[in-house]
Amino acid sequence: MVAADCHDVNTTSGLVKGFETKSGDIYVYKNVPYAKPPVGDLRFELPEQLDTLQEVKSSLSPIYCPQHSSHYTRIKNSTFGQEDCLYLDIYASKTKTSQSLPVLIYFHPGRFSYGSKEEFRGDFLLNYNEIIVVIPNYRLGILGFLRGNLGLFDQRMAMQWVWENIPSFGGDRGRITIAGHDAGGAAVGLHVLSARSHDSGVDDPFLSSSPQKLYEEGRQKNVSYLIGISKDEAFVEVETEFPTAVKTQHLDMIIQHFLKPYLLNSPNLQHTVTAVKYHYLRGVPVPAFESIIPQMIRMLSDYLYNTPAQISLKLHGQKASNTFMYVFSDKNRAKSPNYYTSFEYTKNHLGRIHLGDAPYVFKTSFLEDLKVSNHRTKSLCSIWGEFIKKNALSIYNWKKFNKEEMNYMDISETVTSQVDYRKKDIELWTVLIPELQNIVENLSTVAPQRVFLEPNSAAWGAAGLSVLLGVLCVALIGVVVVTRKELTQSSIIPINSNTYKDQVKYNNIELE
């Protein structure tokens, strides 16, 4: 970015300055504060509205919330960041239009433990769509999720700020979409269920019950819903753990190694392993243990990502009619090794893995050496853009996903309409294994423990659409979730901003 041409905008935070991108056709408003710094007495407290400043200090320096380094971040092998981190970036076109533009708020990934707005930019989307993109930071790790779901309340405060101020940037407060990858995607699902994100006068915890129960009660908002997953979502988990798993030199133990962390309380783990082995490895020659890596990736991708994603769509579709799904199966290659491309399998399957579609929609620094196809970028940005603008999809003759017709789009070299993505695999996890466990438990003379692997539990536990009660959040939906319809008074952001000023102090979600 260059500061040759600045554009000032008045906001509730004060006067903020926009700077041109190098292309010269986009203004970027960097490091705009949306809440009081959560330091001192405000540490471990809910975010508070910022007092209006005369002028916001202009800064292009990167801002990270405190975190350990990871493969998502450019800073390696250290703990870094600052507690005064509740800032957001706004990307808006320099071209003025007569109509207000739809708005996307994007929550970054990172397992609620790392990541930042600095890793993602809105340039790609603005190159193909007349929209405004907002990317906020939110508190992470123990600062964001020790006492309660403070990071989620930060996101809600950012949404409130956007609702109040986006008209000054040319945005339409009646057309706000929220989206995210990984933890950001999980957060989107939680906001859909949270009464706090719908109604201004609610003084309950962020979630009043478990997501499963809220869905059963029909408490989700009737909003449009789009989920996208990559074909090999669980690649990193398998490739990272396989050297340890293979030391057992036993096929059942290798499978158990990958499943056990998610089935800790299951008394029938071996029966699950047997069913999984038969389903995924039947007829597969095993000349060496390494040859089963593709099957292990498929197995864990189905359990952790694919099955939960489709369960979420079916549950949400009980109330909302606009539900859509895509599978990103494109292959890609990177110019030089980094965390992902250091694995042999990834070099030929990079686009298919977790966050594989992110570089096509955002300029992502953690995959900055990826050769991004302009054709694929145009396809994905057009899909996201149409959903943001219309709250529906008709591009490529897109068909809705529902429990009767599980339609989806396969995005590879071409975009094609498909149906019943891995249907037999889904049935293994949602029908066969739960029934098998119930049969074994009924035959047992010992009172069974509560089994983690139930169809709905898998959706919330494995996918991460969960009430975050742990010391550290481990919610991992790992899929693109793009959500929202036109905002109304009872939707994501209340239409009457004055209610915030008189609102009773929020309750925290305490650890159980």
Distance from first CA to last CA of the chain, Å, rounded?
A: 46
Residue 415 in 3-state DSSP?
strand
The Cα angle at residue 157 between residues 101 and 359, in degrees rounded to 5: 55
Is 44 strand, coil or helix?
coil
Q: How far apart are CA 72 and CA 400, in angstroms?
A: 33
According to the 3-state scheme, what is the secondary structure of 440-503?
A: HHHHCCCCCCCCCCCHHHHHHHHCCCCCCCCCCCCCCCCCEEEECCCCCCCCCCCCCCHHHHCC
Q: DSSP alpha helices (H): ranges in 77-218?
A: 123-128, 141-145, 150-165, 183-193, 211-216
What does DSSP say about strands 26-33 and 87-93: parallel, antiparallel, or unpaired?
A: antiparallel
- What tokens does 316 get? 């949400």
Residue bearing tokens 């809105």: 122
Q: What is the 8-class DSSP label of residue 104?
A: E
pTM: 0.83
Tokens 């998502």 correspond to: 72
- Please name every residue paired with 20 in a beta bridge, in sequence order, or none if there are none: 2, 27
Strand 225-230 versus strand 323-328 pairing type: parallel
pLDDT per residue of the chain (512 residues) written in tens, 0 to 9? 444 567 899 999 999 999 998 877 899 999 999 999 999 999 999 999 998 877 787 788 999 999 987 655 556 667 899 999 999 999 999 887 889 999 999 999 999 999 999 999 998 899 999 999 999 999 999 999 987 899 999 999 999 999 999 999 999 999 999 999 999 999 999 999 987 665 544 455 788 888 888 888 888 889 999 999 999 999 888 988 999 999 988 999 999 999 999 887 777 788 899 999 999 998 888 888 888 999 999 999 999 999 999 999 999 999 888 999 999 998 765 443 344 445 555 555 555 788 889 988 997 766 555 566 688 889 999 999 999 999 999 999 999 999 889 999 999 989 999 999 999 999 999 999 988 877 766 665 444 443 333 322 222 322 332 222 222 222 222 233 333 332 222 222 222 323 222 222 222 222 22
Q: How far apart are CA 388 and CA 375, in angstroms?
A: 20
- H or E stretch covering 136: strand 132-136
On whether the CB atoms of residues 451 and 285 are closer than 8 A, the answer is no
What pLDDT does residue 59 have? 83
Per the document, the length of the chain is 512
Residue showing tokens 């929209």: 131
Are residues 352 and 346 in contact, defined by beta-carbon separation less than 8 angstroms? no
Tokens of 44: 């471990």
Dihedral sign for Cα 403, 404, 410, 415, please.
negative
- Could you tell me if 137 and 88 are in contact, meaning their C-beta atoms sit under 8 angstroms apart? yes
pLDDT the model gives residue 286: 82
